Structure 1
């Protein structure tokens, strides 16, 4: 309380929040302890954001990439099979923004919307929140990848292949195109 200049009430609330996020545990006569990292709830937006700021950057980028490689190709296939007019229009708008991007910032915003729109278009309400979960960390990864490329929009052709396969309702092609796009991303992370 002295270190941060806060009241006992603020301290209790902070400890309650950290407990609910799985970071600490508090027991009578034992005290408050930090839980081991494997017990943390990394599927909490705040915890994931905090962790991404202190984790070794390359290791974290590869872990996020592994998760994307497991989920996004399948989500693209689902999007191809089940997108609605509204969800496809959102994807088309994101793709158009990517095509029209004039700088890294515009590209990254459009790229992020593109990937979030793919998750929304898959019409699986359990996958859609993953976009919200990883949005901040994904944005940072997309920005880094755009800066590592020769030109910020170097992966436009790969995104267009995903977009066209979803538009054409070709689920196998959408899965393959997304896997190819993520392969390019992995190459930039590792390169």
Structure 2
């Protein structure tokens, strides 16, 4: 309280927040302790963002990539099967912005919107929050990948293949195209 110049109420609220996120535990006669990483709620957007800043960068990037590889190909297939006019319009706008991007920043913003658009187009309300959860860390990964490529939009053809398959409602092609795109991403991470 003295160090940060805060009241007891603010300190209690901060401890309550950290407890709810699984970062600390507090017990009478034991005190407040940092919990092991296995107890942290890494599916909390704040915790994931904080962890991404201190985790070994390559290790974290690979873990995020593994999660994306498990989810996004299937999400692309669902998007092909289930997209509605509104979500297809969102995806179309993101793809158009990728095509027209003039620099890394424009590309990364459009790329992020594209991947979030695929999740939205799934019409699965349980997948949409996943995009919101990983948005900050995914943006960092997309930026790093764009900078590692020879040109920032080197994966435009792979994104276009995903987009075209979704528009055509070809689930198999959408799943395969997203897997191919994520394979390119993995190559840049590991390269």
For the superposition of Structure 1 and Structure 2, which TM-score range results when normalised by the shorter chain? Answer: over 0.9
Q: Which residue of 1 aligns with 2:109?
A: 109
Structure 1 unaligned spans of 5+? none
* TM-score relative to the length of structure 2: 0.99
Q: What is the root-mean-square deviation of aligned Cα atoms in Å?
A: 0.5
Q: Which residue of 1 aligns with 2:34?
A: 34
- After superposition, the C-alpha distances for 1:34-86 in whole angstroms (9 at most, x for unaligned) are 11100100000000000000100000000000000000000000000010011
Residue 10 of structure 1: how far off its partner (Å): 1.1
Q: Which residue of 2 aligns with 1:87?
A: 87
CA distance in 1, matches of 2:122, 2:172: 14
Q: Which residue of 1 aligns with 2:128?
A: 128
Q: Following TM superposition, where does structure 1 have runs of at least 4 consecutive aligned residues deviating by more than 4 angstroms?
A: none
Structure 2 unaligned spans of 5+? none
Q: Secondary structure at the match of 2:89?
A: helix
CA distance in 1, matches of 2:157, 2:140: 21
Residue 174 of structure 1: how far off its partner (Å): 0.2
CA distance in 2, matches of 1:158, 1:8: 54
Residue 28 of structure 1: how far off its partner (Å): 1.0
Q: Secondary structure at the match of 2:25?
A: strand
For 1:24-103, list aligned pairs within 5 A.
Answer: 24-103=24-103
CA distance in 1, matches of 2:8, 2:128: 38
- The alignment covers a number of residue pairs equal to 191
Residue 92 of structure 1: how far off its partner (Å): 0.4
CA distance in 1, matches of 2:82, 2:8: 52
Residue 5 of structure 1: how far off its partner (Å): 1.9
